[in-house]
Structure 1
Amino acid sequence: VVAETGSNLSVGQRQLICIGRALLRQSRVIVMDEATANVDLATDTLIQATIQEAFTTETVLTIAHRLDTILHCDRVVVLEKGVVVECDAPASLMAQPTSRFYGFAHEAGVLTGLLEW
Protein backbone atom coordinates (compact mmCIF):
# COMPACT_ATOMS: atom_id res chain seq x y z
CA VAL A 1 0.00 0.00 0.00
CA VAL A 2 1.37 3.38 -1.02
CA ALA A 3 1.04 6.19 1.51
CA GLU A 4 -0.98 9.20 0.38
CA THR A 5 2.15 11.32 0.03
CA GLY A 6 4.26 8.45 -1.30
CA SER A 7 6.51 8.70 1.72
CA ASN A 8 6.93 4.94 1.87
CA LEU A 9 8.41 4.81 -1.65
CA SER A 10 12.13 4.95 -2.31
CA VAL A 11 13.55 7.84 -4.33
CA GLY A 12 14.12 5.43 -7.23
CA GLN A 13 10.50 4.27 -7.10
CA ARG A 14 9.30 7.88 -7.14
CA GLN A 15 11.51 8.57 -10.16
CA LEU A 16 9.99 5.59 -11.99
CA ILE A 17 6.48 6.89 -11.28
CA CYS A 18 7.43 10.30 -12.68
CA ILE A 19 8.82 8.70 -15.84
CA GLY A 20 5.63 6.66 -16.18
CA ARG A 21 3.58 9.85 -15.92
CA ALA A 22 5.69 11.46 -18.65
CA LEU A 23 5.02 8.45 -20.89
CA LEU A 24 1.26 8.65 -20.32
CA ARG A 25 0.97 12.44 -20.60
CA GLN A 26 2.20 12.69 -24.17
CA SER A 27 3.84 16.05 -23.57
CA ARG A 28 5.81 17.68 -26.39
CA VAL A 29 8.68 18.63 -24.07
CA ILE A 30 9.97 16.34 -21.34
CA VAL A 31 12.54 17.45 -18.75
CA MET A 32 14.51 14.63 -17.14
CA ASP A 33 16.50 16.12 -14.26
CA GLU A 34 18.73 13.32 -12.95
CA ALA A 35 15.76 11.03 -13.68
CA THR A 36 17.70 7.81 -13.18
CA ALA A 37 20.16 8.89 -10.50
CA ASN A 38 18.66 6.60 -7.85
CA VAL A 39 18.01 3.42 -9.81
CA ASP A 40 20.29 0.47 -10.45
CA LEU A 41 22.19 0.07 -13.72
CA ALA A 42 19.80 -2.54 -15.19
CA THR A 43 16.78 -0.30 -14.53
CA ASP A 44 18.66 2.71 -15.91
CA THR A 45 19.42 0.80 -19.12
CA LEU A 46 15.75 -0.18 -19.47
CA ILE A 47 14.62 3.41 -18.85
CA GLN A 48 17.06 4.79 -21.44
CA ALA A 49 15.82 2.30 -24.05
CA THR A 50 12.20 3.19 -23.22
CA ILE A 51 12.90 6.91 -23.50
CA GLN A 52 14.55 6.45 -26.90
CA GLU A 53 11.65 4.34 -28.15
CA ALA A 54 8.75 6.29 -26.67
CA PHE A 55 9.87 9.89 -27.18
CA THR A 56 10.77 9.89 -30.86
CA THR A 57 8.93 13.09 -31.79
CA GLU A 58 9.17 14.92 -28.45
CA THR A 59 11.93 17.16 -27.20
CA VAL A 60 13.68 15.54 -24.25
CA LEU A 61 15.94 17.72 -22.12
CA THR A 62 18.11 15.45 -19.99
CA ILE A 63 20.10 16.85 -17.10
CA ALA A 64 22.64 14.29 -15.99
CA HIS A 65 25.98 13.75 -14.36
CA ARG A 66 26.22 10.10 -15.44
CA LEU A 67 27.50 10.30 -19.01
CA ASP A 68 26.09 6.94 -20.03
CA THR A 69 22.66 8.51 -19.50
CA ILE A 70 23.21 10.93 -22.40
CA LEU A 71 25.08 8.80 -24.93
CA HIS A 72 22.04 8.52 -27.19
CA CYS A 73 21.27 12.25 -27.21
CA ASP A 74 21.34 14.31 -30.40
CA ARG A 75 23.20 17.12 -28.67
CA VAL A 76 25.14 17.60 -25.48
CA VAL A 77 25.42 20.98 -23.81
CA VAL A 78 28.27 21.33 -21.33
CA LEU A 79 27.84 24.07 -18.74
CA GLU A 80 30.56 25.57 -16.60
CA LYS A 81 29.45 27.94 -13.85
CA GLY A 82 26.14 28.40 -15.66
CA VAL A 83 27.72 29.26 -19.01
CA VAL A 84 27.52 27.07 -22.13
CA VAL A 85 31.08 26.06 -23.00
CA GLU A 86 30.30 23.27 -25.50
CA CYS A 87 27.31 22.24 -27.56
CA ASP A 88 27.45 19.49 -30.17
CA ALA A 89 26.70 15.85 -30.85
CA PRO A 90 28.47 13.47 -28.45
CA ALA A 91 30.49 11.94 -31.30
CA SER A 92 31.64 15.37 -32.47
CA LEU A 93 32.77 16.33 -28.99
CA MET A 94 34.55 12.99 -28.66
CA ALA A 95 36.51 13.74 -31.82
CA GLN A 96 38.05 16.69 -29.97
CA PRO A 97 40.46 15.46 -27.28
CA THR A 98 40.65 19.02 -25.91
CA SER A 99 36.90 19.25 -25.30
CA ARG A 100 35.60 19.21 -21.75
CA PHE A 101 33.12 16.48 -22.66
CA TYR A 102 35.97 14.28 -23.88
CA GLY A 103 37.71 14.88 -20.56
CA PHE A 104 34.58 13.96 -18.59
CA ALA A 105 34.18 10.79 -20.64
CA HIS A 106 37.81 9.87 -20.10
CA GLU A 107 37.48 10.39 -16.33
CA ALA A 108 34.27 8.34 -16.24
CA GLY A 109 35.81 5.53 -18.28
CA VAL A 110 33.13 5.62 -20.97
CA LEU A 111 35.23 6.60 -23.98
CA THR A 112 34.63 3.30 -25.76
CA GLY A 113 30.85 3.58 -25.48
CA LEU A 114 30.86 7.18 -26.67
CA LEU A 115 33.06 6.50 -29.67
CA GLU A 116 30.59 3.84 -30.87
CA TRP A 117 27.90 6.53 -31.19
Structure 2
Amino acid sequence: MALSYGLSLNVSLIDSIQNQCTIANYIISVERLNQYMHIPSEAPEVMEGNRPPANWPVVGKVDIQNLRMRYRDDTPLVLRGISCVFEGRHKIGIVGRTGSGKSTLISALFRLVEPAGGKVIVDGIDISTIGLHDLRSRFGIIPQDPTLFNGTVRYNLDPLSQHSDQEIWEVRIKFCNACFL
Protein backbone atom coordinates (compact mmCIF):
# COMPACT_ATOMS: atom_id res chain seq x y z
CA MET A 1 0.00 0.00 0.00
CA ALA A 2 2.85 2.39 0.85
CA LEU A 3 4.51 1.61 -2.49
CA SER A 4 1.37 2.38 -4.49
CA TYR A 5 0.89 5.68 -2.64
CA GLY A 6 4.60 6.43 -3.10
CA LEU A 7 4.37 5.89 -6.88
CA SER A 8 1.32 8.13 -7.22
CA LEU A 9 3.06 10.78 -5.11
CA ASN A 10 6.05 10.63 -7.47
CA VAL A 11 3.79 11.17 -10.50
CA SER A 12 2.02 14.05 -8.74
CA LEU A 13 5.35 15.65 -7.88
CA ILE A 14 6.55 15.41 -11.50
CA ASP A 15 3.27 16.92 -12.79
CA SER A 16 3.49 19.72 -10.24
CA ILE A 17 7.07 20.63 -11.26
CA GLN A 18 6.16 20.55 -14.97
CA ASN A 19 3.20 22.85 -14.35
CA GLN A 20 5.37 25.28 -12.38
CA CYS A 21 7.92 25.36 -15.21
CA THR A 22 5.19 26.00 -17.78
CA ILE A 23 3.77 28.87 -15.73
CA ALA A 24 7.26 30.35 -15.28
CA ASN A 25 7.79 30.22 -19.07
CA TYR A 26 4.49 32.00 -19.67
CA ILE A 27 5.39 34.72 -17.18
CA ILE A 28 8.82 35.21 -18.81
CA SER A 29 7.11 35.52 -22.20
CA VAL A 30 4.87 38.29 -20.86
CA GLU A 31 7.88 40.06 -19.34
CA ARG A 32 9.74 39.93 -22.66
CA LEU A 33 6.74 41.26 -24.54
CA ASN A 34 6.54 44.12 -22.07
CA GLN A 35 10.25 44.87 -22.59
CA TYR A 36 9.95 44.75 -26.40
CA MET A 37 6.96 47.11 -26.34
CA HIS A 38 9.14 49.83 -24.81
CA ILE A 39 12.12 49.53 -27.18
CA PRO A 40 12.24 52.63 -29.40
CA SER A 41 11.77 52.04 -33.14
CA GLU A 42 14.51 52.45 -35.67
CA ALA A 43 14.50 55.31 -38.14
CA PRO A 44 12.25 54.91 -41.21
CA GLU A 45 13.41 52.56 -43.95
CA VAL A 46 12.91 55.17 -46.66
CA MET A 47 12.71 58.96 -46.33
CA GLU A 48 10.84 59.92 -49.48
CA GLY A 49 11.92 63.56 -49.40
CA ASN A 50 15.60 62.71 -48.98
CA ARG A 51 16.65 59.69 -51.04
CA PRO A 52 20.21 59.30 -52.29
CA PRO A 53 20.90 59.00 -56.02
CA ALA A 54 20.43 55.53 -57.51
CA ASN A 55 24.19 55.06 -57.98
CA TRP A 56 25.17 56.31 -54.49
CA PRO A 57 27.84 55.78 -53.20
CA VAL A 58 29.97 56.30 -56.29
CA VAL A 59 33.44 56.86 -54.83
CA GLY A 60 32.92 55.56 -51.30
CA LYS A 61 34.64 58.38 -49.42
CA VAL A 62 33.72 58.18 -45.72
CA ASP A 63 34.19 61.34 -43.65
CA ILE A 64 33.63 60.85 -39.91
CA GLN A 65 33.37 64.15 -38.03
CA ASN A 66 33.53 64.27 -34.22
CA LEU A 67 31.51 61.05 -33.88
CA ARG A 68 30.26 60.33 -30.37
CA MET A 69 28.26 57.22 -29.54
CA ARG A 70 26.66 55.51 -26.60
CA TYR A 71 24.51 52.41 -26.56
CA ARG A 72 21.80 53.82 -24.28
CA ASP A 73 20.95 57.31 -23.08
CA ASP A 74 21.95 56.55 -19.49
CA THR A 75 25.38 55.06 -20.32
CA PRO A 76 28.76 56.74 -20.91
CA LEU A 77 30.12 57.45 -24.38
CA VAL A 78 31.89 54.52 -26.04
CA LEU A 79 33.20 56.64 -28.93
CA ARG A 80 34.36 60.09 -27.87
CA GLY A 81 34.86 62.46 -30.78
CA ILE A 82 36.29 60.23 -33.53
CA SER A 83 37.27 62.17 -36.65
CA CYS A 84 38.86 60.61 -39.72
CA VAL A 85 38.53 60.34 -43.49
CA PHE A 86 38.62 57.13 -45.52
CA GLU A 87 39.28 57.95 -49.15
CA GLY A 88 37.11 56.22 -51.70
CA ARG A 89 38.10 53.16 -53.71
CA HIS A 90 40.47 51.92 -51.01
CA LYS A 91 40.30 48.73 -49.00
CA ILE A 92 40.17 49.59 -45.33
CA GLY A 93 40.85 47.29 -42.40
CA ILE A 94 40.01 48.34 -38.86
CA VAL A 95 42.14 46.66 -36.25
CA GLY A 96 42.49 47.08 -32.52
CA ARG A 97 42.30 45.30 -29.24
CA THR A 98 39.09 44.14 -27.61
CA GLY A 99 36.92 47.07 -26.56
CA SER A 100 38.66 49.64 -28.74
CA GLY A 101 35.50 50.49 -30.71
CA LYS A 102 35.84 48.54 -33.96
CA SER A 103 32.34 47.03 -33.84
CA THR A 104 30.89 50.30 -32.56
CA LEU A 105 32.30 52.12 -35.57
CA ILE A 106 30.69 49.58 -37.89
CA SER A 107 27.43 49.97 -35.94
CA ALA A 108 27.63 53.71 -36.63
CA LEU A 109 28.14 53.16 -40.38
CA PHE A 110 25.07 50.92 -40.61
CA ARG A 111 23.13 53.04 -38.07
CA LEU A 112 22.49 50.06 -35.83
CA VAL A 113 23.05 52.59 -33.05
CA GLU A 114 22.32 56.27 -33.68
CA PRO A 115 25.16 58.68 -32.84
CA ALA A 116 24.98 60.88 -29.77
CA GLY A 117 26.77 63.58 -31.77
CA GLY A 118 28.86 64.20 -34.84
CA LYS A 119 28.33 63.11 -38.41
CA VAL A 120 29.19 60.33 -40.82
CA ILE A 121 29.26 61.61 -44.40
CA VAL A 122 29.54 59.17 -47.29
CA ASP A 123 30.14 60.71 -50.72
CA GLY A 124 28.77 64.04 -49.53
CA ILE A 125 25.58 62.68 -47.91
CA ASP A 126 25.07 62.67 -44.15
CA ILE A 127 23.89 59.11 -43.50
CA SER A 128 21.62 60.23 -40.64
CA THR A 129 19.41 62.05 -43.16
CA ILE A 130 18.53 59.05 -45.35
CA GLY A 131 16.39 55.99 -44.72
CA LEU A 132 17.85 52.81 -43.30
CA HIS A 133 17.02 50.69 -46.35
CA ASP A 134 18.71 53.19 -48.66
CA LEU A 135 21.77 53.10 -46.42
CA ARG A 136 22.08 49.42 -45.53
CA SER A 137 21.25 48.06 -48.98
CA ARG A 138 24.23 49.92 -50.48
CA PHE A 139 26.93 49.00 -47.97
CA GLY A 140 28.78 45.73 -47.66
CA ILE A 141 31.01 44.30 -44.99
CA ILE A 142 33.35 41.34 -44.81
CA PRO A 143 32.59 39.62 -41.50
CA GLN A 144 35.19 38.28 -39.10
CA ASP A 145 33.83 34.74 -38.96
CA PRO A 146 35.37 32.24 -41.38
CA THR A 147 32.09 31.20 -43.04
CA LEU A 148 32.15 32.16 -46.69
CA PHE A 149 28.55 31.37 -47.55
CA ASN A 150 25.43 30.68 -45.55
CA GLY A 151 22.39 29.47 -47.47
CA THR A 152 22.09 28.95 -51.20
CA VAL A 153 24.43 30.42 -53.81
CA ARG A 154 21.44 32.33 -55.23
CA TYR A 155 20.74 33.92 -51.85
CA ASN A 156 24.40 34.90 -51.38
CA LEU A 157 24.56 36.55 -54.79
CA ASP A 158 21.29 38.47 -54.34
CA PRO A 159 20.20 38.46 -50.68
CA LEU A 160 17.43 41.04 -51.25
CA SER A 161 15.98 39.20 -54.30
CA GLN A 162 16.22 42.31 -56.44
CA HIS A 163 17.43 40.61 -59.64
CA SER A 164 16.10 37.88 -61.89
CA ASP A 165 17.88 34.58 -62.45
CA GLN A 166 18.70 35.72 -65.99
CA GLU A 167 20.46 38.87 -64.74
CA ILE A 168 22.51 36.86 -62.25
CA TRP A 169 23.57 34.39 -64.95
CA GLU A 170 24.60 37.27 -67.27
CA VAL A 171 26.79 38.83 -64.56
CA ARG A 172 28.30 35.43 -63.76
CA ILE A 173 29.18 34.84 -67.40
CA LYS A 174 30.73 38.35 -67.75
CA PHE A 175 32.69 37.84 -64.53
CA CYS A 176 33.99 34.41 -65.60
CA ASN A 177 35.01 35.76 -69.04
CA ALA A 178 36.85 38.67 -67.36
CA CYS A 179 38.75 36.23 -65.13
CA PHE A 180 40.34 34.57 -68.18
CA LEU A 181 41.42 37.76 -69.95
TM-score, normalised by the number of residues in structure 1: 0.29
**Higher Cα Rg, which structure:** 2
Question: Which one has a larger percent helix, Structure 1 or Structure 2?
Answer: 1
TM-score, normalised by the number of residues in structure 2: 0.22
Higher RCO (C-alpha 8 Å, min separation 6): 2
